Structure 1
Amino acid sequence: MVPYSCGVSKKTVNKVIRLAQENNLAWPLPETKTDDVLAQMFFSPTTKFQSTKRMPNVEHIHKELLRNGVSKKLLWTEYLEECRLCNASPLMYSQFCYYIQKDEQKRRASMHISRKPAEQVEVDWAGDPSKIIDPDTGELTKAYLFVGVMTYSQYAFVMAFVNEKQRAWIRAHICMYEFFGGVARILVPDNCKTAVVHNKDWYTPQLNITYHELAEHYGTAIIPARVRAPKDKPNVEGTVGNISTWITAALRDEQFFSLFELNQAIRAKLDEFNLRLFQKKEGSRYALFHDEELPLLMPLPAVPYELADWKTATVLFNYHISVDGMLYSVPYEYIGRKVDVRATDNVIEIFYNHKRIASHCRLHGRKCQYSTIREHMPEDHQQYLEWNGDRFRKWAEDIGPFTSKVITAILSSHKIEQQSYRSCMGLLKLSEKVSVERLEAACKKALSYTSTPSCRSIKTILSTKMAYDPSKSADKPKSHGITRGAAYYGRKQP
């Protein structure tokens, strides 16, 4: 009855009884004799057949398969050549692929990571672009879909752009945060050039400078996904597939003649998609987001991020830099230096060694306009800006009334007042070389000759000492005449 109740043959039962007697086993068994111990005692594995064939290096094969154009067939051919050189027996192609597949299965192991509400948002471009028809020429233009997904609720944002360049990438993030009504703590993008530049390895990604500024403005942290690692952002990858079905495919038979029309249709389909009930859990993306994520999002900044372009410029000899045909001043100490320029639609900021040295409101309109800050100019250039008729008149009045009359005459001697500024400056500067009194006397003397004296005539009077000398009195009698007497000249005294 035992063979029938156990489902084994009588020969197997006798073999087990014999093995139990040889190992002094009797019922009841000790607790240490577990099923694994008994299996080892009764059915010890026989010596496995040791294959003499050379096994492939699966680590090397895995790395090589990541390279473009490399296939298993090519690697198997190279493997055969290695075996021939080593005088080893190779595996057939089917066995070669079998061991590679077993290694790939081990690498496919994935871990479920529980996300917290409002913790992370994943972004990417959708695979299949939409189409826009030019109403004048009928030409079809591609429109690329940007997708952003809240990791916890899978609440999605979709918007179309005419390209995937930097400006569109940044603008998409600004619109996404406005759509969500808040900011998640972590932002997970793909390894596109608009997000990461010169990414040598996963551990030290170098962020695009404009993208980094966006993150600083919104107070979020950017953690790029690894290269060729879509599981680092599975929610957006899965949503991209759903978007292709419920939005792109759903609008395949409609025609759009502008980007605005396309985005209006996308928004309508997007609302339907977010309100659609989950298949394996209760509620919808919209309900889960508004109930559990939205209250925990960080608030939006007071003003949206303003897109900035970074450029390099050289400070010209007139201490200005040129940006899109407009010229902006820089402190004259930086003449000849290369500076970094951050340009937005409204502001131009200039940096040297990561330190801001100038800021201007951006100029618009005709080319070659100047935006100059007085403090950026050398002192003599600043003084030149201060030259004007009223300043010269006030300076002359402080010296005296005759100097004031001369300055007024010089200012009115030209059709354009600015043409006389150099003469006025030259005349008034004489007060620093000679005394104020001598300049005033020279002006009085010149006015006695003509009502329109020049700066040159005043200088001539001063150089010939024709002006009044305060050390001598004009009313003092002259003491000239013969003072030695007649005897001095040889006359005899009576």
Structure 2
Amino acid sequence: MVKYREILRLHAQGVTQRGIASSCSHSRNTVREVVKRAEGKNIRWPFEEDLTDADLQNILFPEKHTSSDFRKKPDCDYIHKELAKSGVTLSLLWDEYTLNCRANDDIPYSYRQFCRFYHDYARKTKATMRIKRKPGEQLEVDWAGQTMHLTDNLTGELIPVYIFVSTLSCSQYAYVEGFLSMDSESWITAHIHAFQFYGGVTRIIVPDNLKTGVIKASRSEPVINPSYQEMAEHYQTTIIPARVRKPKDKPSAEGTVGHISTWIIASLRNEKFFTLKEMNEAIQEKLEEFNTKAFQKKEGNRQKAYLEEEKFAMMPLPASMYEIATWQKATVQYDYHINVNQMYYSVPYDYIKYRVDVRVTRNVIEVFYKSLRIASHKKLTGKSGQYSTIPDHMPKDHKQYIDFNQEHVLKWARTVGDHTFTTVQSILSSYQSEKQGLKSCLGLIRLGDKHSIERLELACSKALSYTTRPTLKSIQTILKTGQDKEPNRGSSKLLTKQKDESSYGFTRGADYYGGR
């Protein structure tokens, strides 16, 4: 009990409050409050009648003698539910509790007793105590320090297996899986499998500062691995790495790693596994036992705590599972292609010599420049050195060259005229190789650009009046000499004469000698 008599005696003798606190072994706040109450009640040393410390407490602090039956007990079940909400604290709930008591003319408990009521309630009836960690708020992840081993069935060699561990901070519900490496792909795959195991996503992920997750550790602005950050954005969660050499930033994961080392890794030490799938199946069986194992100092277990008190607060999984991607840097070459694993993919020619980011997935190659996607290709497989070229990425001249084929030439000839179309058909059919025919047709197009398509059509008409198989050279001669501008006389006579000629090409007829 507070030494009220001694405090008031020393105060009457002019001893300072600091000196009184030191002499009576009380805090200065207690001394200050006793002196203030005594002055308010006009009680001074020496007392008019003999008063004990209990009498002085009854006079100075009558509320301390109020029976607890008259105080309003807090609703602990309501407190537990409200603490699951973001931003809600015990201090806020106590403030609301006191305001409600005053409004109803009830006497509230102090903040310390309020917290004690909730602590006792949560310890006896609930598996979790929602003070520092909210349900569904935080997932702590890490690699276990100890490894397991596969046995090579041919050589008997031991192959190390690295154990991924994740723990929900509120319910301590754990997920464990083994991988053959600790690379970025294994790290992200482990997260995806953990989210599927939990059936939801937490708002925050707390990893260690390993290179597969964090490129550059920083107290204020850590640089997250692009693939890891993209995975977090896909699941709409946030990555907040633990501080360097601060294991208390993720105590649940650190504690679970120790338990996993005992209850899973050590318990399977005498088992021999030949495949990773076989090992992970055994790990899942032990994990089920670990999550359903009863708590030592409170009721329930990790699985029950998760299902009853945390699963409802988890964010839902997205409609599609995240597809693992890796990022690379590449420079666009003069042929407007980039090299990705010895395969070549086109990029708009405007980005020649620019440095771009390349996102590589199992089926797709995406190219980004300053976070803007500028190209997308289906991933090439098979022999290296293959090219994937999109015509829209090419300069105009290059695109015309690619588009220059037999169909393109015939379409152009049809727009010029019937005689030009017949001439192009004749030229294309006169060569065994299509490329040779297209080369002659390209010369015909250039003649049209040089002399106009109207003259080209007349020249083709003139050439067809001489022969049914005109050549590029003959049309070029007609245009050069201007024969296309002369009237096309005698063409019908010439064609008739050709029909009447002997089937022998070198035989001169009667007409040659002027005979009839």
The TM-score normalised by the length of structure 1 is: 0.72
Q: Distance in 2 between matches of 1:134 and 1:262?
A: 13
Which position in structure 2 is the counterpart of 1:61?
none
Structure 1 residue identity aligned to 2:177: M
> CA RMSD of the aligned region, Å?
2.6
Letter of the 1:274 counterpart = N
The Cα shift of 1:41 comes to 6.8
TM-fit CA distance, 1:165: 1.4
Q: Is the 8 A contact 1:438 1:469 kept in 2?
A: no
Structure 1 residues 111-260: aligned runs within 5 Å: 114-199=132-217, 201-260=218-277
2:47 is equivalent to residue 29 of structure 1: no
SS of 1:197 mapped into structure 2 = strand
Residue 371 of structure 2: aligned partner: 354
Amino acid at match of 1:151: S
Higher helix share: 2
- Contact 1:402 1:444 (8 Å CA) reproduced: yes
Q: Compute the displacement of 1:403 (Å).
A: 1.8
Partner of 2:482: 465
Amino acid aligned to 1:316: Q
* Maintained 8 Å contact 2:264/2:287: yes
Q: CA deviation at 1:272?
A: 0.4
Matched to 2:370, the amino acid is: N
Letter in 2 for 1:397: R
Query: 1:336-415 alignment to 2 at 5 Å?
Result: 336-415=353-432
**Count of matched residue positions in the alignment of Structure 1 and Structure 2:** 380
Write out per-residue CA displacement over residues 221-246 of structure 1, whole angstroms, 9 at most, x where no aligned residue: 11111111111111110110100110
1:119 and 1:184 in contact (8 A); partners too? yes
Going from structure 1 to structure 2, the CA distance change for 1:26 and 1:178 (only over 3 Å counts) comes to closer
Distance (Å, rounded) in 2 between the aligned partners of 1:26 and 1:166: 70
- Measured after TM superposition, the shift of residue 27 of structure 1 is 12
| Mapped pair 1:271 → 2:288 | yes
Secondary structure of the residue aligned to 1:262 is helix
Q: Are residue 309 (structure 1) and residue 289 (structure 2) matched? A: no
Give the 3-state SS of the residue equivalent to 1:444 in structure 2. helix
Return closer, same or farther for 1:116/1:416 CA change in 2, 3 Å cut-off. Answer: same
Could you tell me how far 1:469 is from its partner in structure 2?
4.0
1:461: Cα distance to partner? 1.2
Aligned mates of 2:20, 2:247 — CA distance in 1: 47
Letter in 1 for 2:243: R
Aligned residue for 1:127, secondary structure, equals strand
Rounded to whole Å, the distance in 1 between the matches of 2:378 and 2:436 is 32
Change (3 A) 1:28 1:438: closer
SS, match of residue 328 in structure 1? strand
| 1:257 positional shift | 0.5
Pair 191,456 (structure 1): closer, same or farther in 2 beyond 3 Å: same
Q: Which residue identity is paired with 2:235?
A: Y
**Do the aligned partners of residues 42 and 300 (structure 1) sit closer, same or farther apart at CA in structure 2, a change above 3 Å counting?**
closer
Asked if 1:424 corresponds to 2:404, the answer is no
Offset of residue 40 of structure 1: 5.5
CA contact (8 A) 2:205 2:238 kept: yes
TM-score, normalised on structure 2? 0.69
How far is the alpha carbon of 1:324 from its aligned partner?
1.4
Quote the Cα distance in structure 2 between the aligned partners of 1:461 and 1:217: 69
Compared CA separation, residues 289 and 26, structure 1 to 2 (3 A): closer
Cα distance in 1, alignment partners of residues 471 and 315 from structure 2 = 73
Q: Residue 367 of structure 2: SS of its match in structure 1?
A: strand
Distance 1:468 1:38, change over 3 A: closer
Instruction: Point out where structure 1 has 5 or more consecutive residues left out of the alignment.
Output: 1-24, 44-111, 476-494
1:293 aligns with 2:310: yes
Aligned to 1:490: none
CA shift for structure 1 position 401: 2.8
Deviations 1:346-382 (A, max 9, x none): 1111112332211112112222222221210111222
CA contact (8 A) 2:10 2:20 kept: no
AA of the residue aligned to 2:398: H
Task: Tell me the CA shift for residue 383 of structure 1.
Answer: 1.9
Distance in 2 of aligned mates of 1:38 and 1:404: 118
CA displacement at 1:259 relative to structure 2: 0.7
- Aligned letter for 1:195? G
**Relative to 1, partners in 2 of residues 1:448 and 1:119: Cα closer, same or farther, differing over 3 Å?**
same
Deviates more, 1:375-384 or 1:397-406: 397-406
Partner SS for 2:409: helix
CA distance in 2, matches of 1:304, 1:165: 20
CA distance in 2, matches of 1:130, 1:326: 38
Displacement after TM superposition at 1:307 (Å): 1.5
Distance 1:173 1:409, change over 3 A: same
- Give the partner amino acid of 2:345: Y
